[in-house]
Amino acid sequence: MKNKIIVTGGCGYIGSHTVIELIENNYTVIILDDLSNSTEETLHRIEKITNVKPSFINIDLKDELKTKKVFKEHKDAKAVINFAAHKAVGESVQKPLMYYKNNLYSLINTLTALTENTINGFIFSSSATVYGTPKSLPITEQSKTQRPFSPYGNTKKIAEEIIDDLIKSETNLSAISLRYFNPIGAHESGLIGELPSGIPNNLMPYITQTAVGIREKLMVYGNDYPTKDGTPIRDYIHVVDLAKAHVLAVERIIKNQQEKPFEIFNLGTGNGFSVLDIINSFEEVTNSKLNYEITDRRAGDVPKLFASIDLVKNKLGWKPSKSLNEMIKSSWDWERKLNDKS
């Protein structure tokens, strides 16, 4: 019998890549998604890649009764991976209540349904944003968390606190929170990848959309940071590497290998690259010039972030496999395919 895993937000960017890795590792996947920032077409694409069509339930997890009903029907699931959340930083500043409501109601309903049905494994999709402006680098899981700048970021921090409180009360629940640094890239099939709705907030999709002509020029938000070239440094990680870490986290929970009931791991490469590094690599990989301009800083940006990944390497046996150029090429291939009208 295959182990069943419920994936909330499984039609989204990181969720869909994780569903593929789960299927390829012989798990049965049930996707719960309200398609608010994704499409059902992703399911067909997952089927094309894996030859398996995952079960899909269109559900708004803010609806407590419906959520409980669905989890009851799948109470044989071994674990839940929680990707379902809004994630646009700027929008969350404009509409904080919408973010707190969506990201936290759905989390609370999911955790309630999970504990009621004695599903004992939970994996949470968190973010390096919980570290705020770090005091020292690289960032380890022991580094202090701070209140994130945006309501979006704060939902991640609060979510981890909710899970921690629940674990302390629930002896049977085991959870792993994965703190992503900056996910980029797409599946090598070219069938799934990031589909930003409207104007992208994040650097990589903005660069690729500029290069294909959807955007006129990239604005580089400040070159007066205390870094080697003045532009902020981040730790970019390929989405498929990220997805594979979720499978290892599921295994760790199912095999009872956790050292404590709530574990936290950073997911990055451990390498920091500046915005100009990314632009230079992009130009090298694509053999083209990118139209960009240096402008003012963006509110809330941190000068320098990169992860220590020793813990995840040692405990989860995970390590990233892609170089920066490979990651950038992967994002570029996806963008070109999206815009290939021929």
Interface stretch with ligand UD1, choices 108-116, 187-195, 216-224, 311-319 (CB under 6 A)? 216-224
Active site residue 292: no
The CA distance from 90 to 142, in Å, is: 28
How far apart are CB 308 and ligand UD1 at their closest, in Å?
A: 17
Q: Which structure tokens are listed for 176?
A: 């792993």
CB 234 within 8 A of CB 307: no
Nearest-10 crossing angle of helices 41-50, 13-24: 30
Binding mask 64-103 for ligand UD1 (x = CB under 6 A): -----------------------x-x--------------
| DSSP classification of residue 298 | P
Q: Which structure tokens are listed for 254?
A: 């199912």
Say how many CA atoms lie within 13 Å of 218 toward its Cβ.
25
Q: Which is nearer to ligand UD1, 259 or 293 (CB)?
A: 293
The CA distance from 84 to 116, in Å, is: 20
How far apart are CB 174 and ligand UD1 at their closest, in Å?
A: 25
Residue 215 binds ligand UD1 (CB under 6 A):
no
Q: Strand 292-295 vs strand 236-238: parallel, antiparallel, or unpaired?
A: unpaired
How far apart are CB 197 and ligand UD1 at their closest, in Å?
A: 13
> Under rule CB under 6 A, which residues in 286-325 are in contact with ligand UD1?
298, 300-301
Q: Which is nearer to ligand UD1, 71 or 236 (CB)?
A: 236
3-state secondary structure labels for all residues of 80-113: EEECCCCCCHHHHHHCHHHHHHHHHHHHHHHHHH
Q: Which stretches within 149-302 are classed as H helix?
A: 151-169, 203-211, 239-254, 275-286
Residue 208 binds ligand UD1 (CB under 6 A):
no
Binding mask 159-198 for ligand UD1 (x = CB under 6 A): -----------------------x----------------
Which 3 state secondary structure label does DSSP give 126? strand
Dihedral sign for Cα atoms in the order 209, 214, 220, 221 = negative
Residue from 104, 219, 290, 338 touching ligand UD1 (CB under 6 A): that is 219
Dihedral sign for Cα atoms in the order 52, 55, 58, 63 = negative
Q: Which is nearer to ligand UD1, 46 or 233 (CB)?
A: 233
Residue 153 binds ligand UD1 (CB under 6 A):
yes
Exactly one of 27, 99, 131, 152 is catalytic; name it: 152
Residue from 130, 159, 275, 309 touching ligand UD1 (CB under 6 A): that is 275
Say how many CA atoms lie within 13 Å of 74 toward its Cβ.
27
> Under rule CB under 6 A, which residues in 240-269 are in contact with ligand UD1?
none
How far apart are CB 219 and ligand UD1 at their closest, in Å?
A: 5
> Under rule CB under 6 A, which residues in 102-131 are in contact with ligand UD1?
127, 129
CA distances from 224 to 44, 220, 230, 334 (A): 46, 11, 5, 32
Q: What residues line the site for ligand UD1 (CB under 6 A)?
A: 87, 89, 127, 129, 149, 153, 182, 201-203, 206, 218-221, 232, 234, 275, 298, 300-301
Write out the catalytic residue numbers: 152
